[in-house]
């Protein structure tokens, strides 16, 4: 018996199941993203943050609860906000937390892990995502913005400037969108569709890889990998960075890797939305390459160690 | 001109996605792919895709949607992007409509490995080391395979933390703690669903759950049982596996549940064909626990059940 037995029948069946399950959630996330882009000015987001830099960093990690944005749409928003005076630490925290700590991801995680302690997994994912994002933000707070931000990508603030001087984004009318509600609605739908297309392409590629992995590969082969806690955790994070899934639907993929322990799948769901192949390129638009690489390595080690050394005890005794 | 063509192509891609989703939903093929709770989302998604696609292709293109240099959609009018979107999003789904057989073949099952112990399924907790028959109340619908095809929910298993209860064997087979619950022997007739032939009609899950439930084993003993599943031949011509797929969310996470079946003479059934097996469930001990072995009297091809998946 070969370790790899690919058949189109199995691939199509698994691939279509993933697509039917995940695409509606990607669409819903895109619609909300489009609505926020058109109807919610950035002033509302920044006005919710405290003036104290430390507290602002903590609060930035929760912004996604009010303004759910997936990782594909977050980079341009953060870049825009930093340009308008948002502290870089808050921007990084918001950028890393928002794709996880938001109601859409909470709901999709709960739905995907139906029958596998959904409340626990949803809570662990959100709390861990928040803690990791805030930790990264607090580290960034100690760094010189000039050493982080790419030259010309954003207006580099002075190191000590923590107060906000945020001005709202231009009104919809000033960027070519009709002022009427109907005009804004159409613009929101168009933006949502563009967001969806950008995101869904990566989702479908990820679903194809997952379908191949789940049907063609003899699970006995990878069983030793999945049995070793540390190895399985880092393997799942590496897989997350390759699959480049959307955070609104990656839980559905993670839930299918049933041969891997739940803490390894949790690492997949926390690391993936924060750093994957497409995000490496997206982050490079705003940040210097050296910082992006450092951020990736730091997140990889931090999340991996938490999941394989701490979560393993949280999930002890549960068959998930 | 190029922008208009890109708009049209992107709109067609979105409408095409919606059409595929709606087709699968209204033809019932979606039932083979998703858990019932997810199916309405496909309907909603299909409708929104179609509406959004029409709006997208019909609406005039704005000069820019975001501030210059900060736009999220800098490639919105790229022909390459539109062609990739069409190829990656629509073509595979349209291909699936035409080619998918809406089921796995035996290779996927073998690659995934068979679940022959229900405690290994997601969300199931291991039963306590020592269980007694009065730990649970068995609802009739839990075994109502013929009453409701979807009623394949496992029998109540999670009794962790429950106070110790009396052993049926030690009190003559009656439940003194709860008189409303008959003993396995006297109450089994009213609980066990019957098939058209008068046999006890069970699911594969019921037989597997009985491995860790003494009360169920007693209830099933000496009864003529019929079970429907897919036929997967074994290495010995007088043995095969009766398989049903158990899904949590969608077919991608499906896990094959298998009950080993022993027959007196080799059978000639197509691989992965649906069969009705009639016989008796036995539970021989292997090591420190019992495992089901179904001894079949007859094996006959049958139609797939309304819900091919177990949930």
- Residue B68: what pLDDT? 46
CB A61 within 8 A of CB A101: yes
- Residue B69: what pLDDT? 46
Chain B hits for A5, Cβ within 8 Å: 107, 110-111
Q: Do B85 and A7 touch (CB under 8 A)?
A: no
Task: Give the residue carrying structure tokens 């009065």.
Answer: B134
Q: Do A169 and B67 touch (CB under 8 A)?
A: yes
- Residue B249: what pLDDT? 78
CB A128 within 8 A of CB A266: yes
pLDDT tens-digit series, residues A214-225: 889 887 777 777
CB B281 within 8 A of CB B225: yes
Whether the predicted pLDDT of B134 surpasses 70:
no
Task: Give the residue carrying structure tokens 């996330």.
Answer: A29
- Using pLDDT thresholds of 50, 70 and 90, give the confidence band for residue A254: confident
Say how far apart CA B48 and CA B27 lie, in whole Å.
19
Say how far apart CA B54 and CA B47 lie, in whole Å.
11
Chain B hits for A117, Cβ within 8 Å: 123
- Low-confidence winner among A269-278, B61-70, B117-126 (lowest mean pLDDT): B61-70
- What is the rounded average pLDDT of the residues A44-57? 82
> How close does chain A come to B299, measured CA to CA in Å?
27
What one-character DSSP code corresponds to residue A178? -
- Low-confidence winner among A35-49, A72-86, B127-141, B270-284 (lowest mean pLDDT): B127-141
Whether the predicted pLDDT of A96 surpasses 90:
yes
Q: Which of A80, A116, A197 sits opposite B10 (nearest CB)?
A: A197
Buried b (16+ CB within 10 A) or exposed e, B164-176: ebeebeeeeebbe
CATH number for the B106-310 domain, one of 3.90.930.60, 2.60.120.10, 2.120.10.30, 2.40.50.140? Answer: 2.40.50.140
Q: Do A23 and B21 touch (CB under 8 A)?
A: yes
CB A202 within 8 A of CB A244: yes
Both tokens of A25, joined, read 């959630």
Beta-carbon neighbour count of residue A181 at 10 Å? 9
Residue B14 contacts A, CB cutoff 8 Å: yes
Say how far apart CA A241 and CA B3 lie, in whole Å.
33
Whether the predicted pLDDT of A203 surpasses 70:
yes
Task: Give the residue carrying structure tokens 């919809």.
Answer: A172
- Residue A81: what pLDDT? 76
pLDDT tens-digit series, residues B141-199: 344 333 333 334 444 433 343 333 333 333 333 343 444 444 545 555 566 888 888 88
Please provide the DSSP assignment of B103-142 as one string.
Answer: S--HHHHHHH--B-SGGGSTTPPPPPSS--GGG----GGG
Q: How many helices (H) and strands (E) does chain A have?
A: 17, 0
Residue B73 contacts A, CB cutoff 8 Å: yes
Both tokens of A234, joined, read 């880092």
- Residue B190: what pLDDT? 65
Q: Do B14 and A5 touch (CB under 8 A)?
A: no
**A16, A30, A108: which to substitute to probe chain B, counting the most B Cβ within 10 Å?**
A16
Domain ranges of chain B: 2-64+75-99, 106-310
Cβ-count burial of A158 within 10 angstroms (0-12 exposed, 13-18 middle, 19+ buried)?
Answer: exposed
State yes or no: ipTM above 0.90.
Answer: no
- What is the rounded average pLDDT of the residues A165-193? 65
- Low-confidence winner among A208-217, A248-257, B239-248 (lowest mean pLDDT): A248-257
pLDDT tens-digit series, residues A113-153: 887 889 999 999 999 999 999 999 999 999 988 889 887 65
Task: Give the residue carrying structure tokens 């997949």.
Answer: A268
Q: Do A13 and B42 touch (CB under 8 A)?
A: no
Both tokens of A44, joined, read 């509302």
Q: Do B72 and A201 touch (CB under 8 A)?
A: no
State percent of chain A over pLDDT 90.
Answer: 33
Whether the predicted pLDDT of B218 surpasses 90:
no
Whether the predicted pLDDT of A89 surpasses 50:
yes
């Amino acid at each position: 018996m070969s370790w790899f037995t690919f058949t189109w029948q199995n691939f199509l069946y698994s691939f279509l199941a993933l697509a039917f399950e995940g695409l509606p959630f990607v669409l819903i996330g895109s619609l909300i993203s489009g609505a926020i882009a058109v109807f919610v000015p950035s002033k509302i987001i920044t006005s919710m943050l405290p003036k104290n830099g430390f507290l602002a960093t903590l609060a930035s990690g929760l912004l996604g609860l009010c303004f759910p944005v997936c990782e594909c749409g977050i980079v341009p928003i953060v870049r825009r906000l930093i340009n308008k005076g948002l502290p870089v630490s808050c921007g990084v925290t918001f950028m890393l937390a928002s794709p996880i700590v938001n109601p859409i991801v909470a709901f999709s995680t709960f739905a995907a892990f139906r029958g596998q302690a959904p409340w626990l997994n949803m809570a662990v994912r959100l709390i861990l995502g928040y803690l990791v994002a805030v930790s990264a933000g607090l580290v960034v707070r100690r760094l010189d913005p000039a050493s982080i931000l790419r030259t010309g990508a954003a207006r580099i603030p002075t190191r000590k400037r923590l107060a906000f001087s945020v001005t709202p984004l231009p009104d919809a009318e000033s960027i070519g969108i009709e002022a009427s509600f109907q005009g804004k609605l159409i613009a929101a739908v168009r933006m949502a569709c563009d967001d969806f297309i950008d995101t869904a392409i990566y989702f479908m590629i990820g679903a194809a890889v997952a379908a191949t992995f789940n049907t063609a590969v003899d699970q006995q082969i990878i069983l030793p990998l999945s049995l070793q806690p540390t190895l399985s955790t880092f393997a799942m994070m590496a897989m997350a960075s390759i699959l480049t899934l959307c955070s609104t639907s990656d839980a559905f993929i993670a839930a299918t890797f049933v041969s891997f322990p739940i803490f390894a799948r949790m690492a997949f769901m926390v690391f993936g939305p924060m750093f994957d192949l497409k995000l490496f390129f997206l982050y490079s638009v705003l940040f210097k390459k050296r910082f992006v690489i450092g951020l990736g390595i730091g997140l990889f080690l931090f999340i991996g160690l938490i999941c394989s050394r701490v979560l393993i005890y949280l999930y002890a005794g549960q068959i998930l | 001109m190029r922008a208009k063509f890109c708009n049209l192509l992107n709109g067609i891609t979105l409408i095409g996605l919606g059409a595929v989703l709606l087709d699968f939903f209204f033809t019932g093929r979606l039932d083979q792919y998703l858990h019932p709770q997810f199916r309405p989302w496909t309907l909603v998604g299909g409708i929104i895709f179609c509406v959004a696609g029409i709006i997208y292709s019909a609406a005039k293109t704005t000069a820019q949607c975001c501030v210059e240099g900060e736009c999220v959609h800098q490639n919105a009018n790229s022909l390459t992007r539109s062609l990739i979107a069409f190829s990656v999003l629509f073509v595979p789904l349209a291909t699936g409509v035409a080619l998918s057989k809406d089921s796995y073949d035996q290779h996927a099952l073998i690659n995934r490995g068979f679940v022959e112990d229900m405690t290994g399924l997601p969300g199931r907790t291991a039963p306590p080391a020592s269980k007694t028959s009065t730990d649970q109340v068995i609802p009739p619908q839990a075994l109502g395979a013929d009453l409701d095809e979807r009623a394949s929910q496992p029998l109540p298993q999670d009794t962790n933390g429950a106070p110790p209860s009396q052993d049926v064997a030690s009190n003559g087979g009656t439940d003194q703690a709860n008189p409303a619950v008959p003993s396995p022997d006297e109450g089994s007739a009213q609980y066990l669903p019957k098939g058209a032939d008068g046999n006890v009609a069970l699911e594969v899950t019921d037989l597997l759950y009985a491995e860790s439930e003494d009360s169920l084993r007693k209830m099933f003993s000496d009864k003529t049982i019929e079970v429907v599943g897919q036929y997967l031949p074994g290495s010995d011509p007088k043995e095969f596996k009766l398989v049903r797929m158990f899904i949590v969310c969608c077919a991608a996470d499906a896990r094959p549940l298998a009950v080993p079946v022993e027959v007196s003479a080799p059978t000639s059934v197509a691989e992965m064909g649906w069969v009705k097996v009639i016989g008796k469930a036995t539970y021989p001990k292997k090591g420190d626990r019992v495992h089901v072995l179904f001894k079949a009297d007859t094996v006959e091809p049958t139609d797939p059940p309304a819900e091919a998946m177990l949930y």
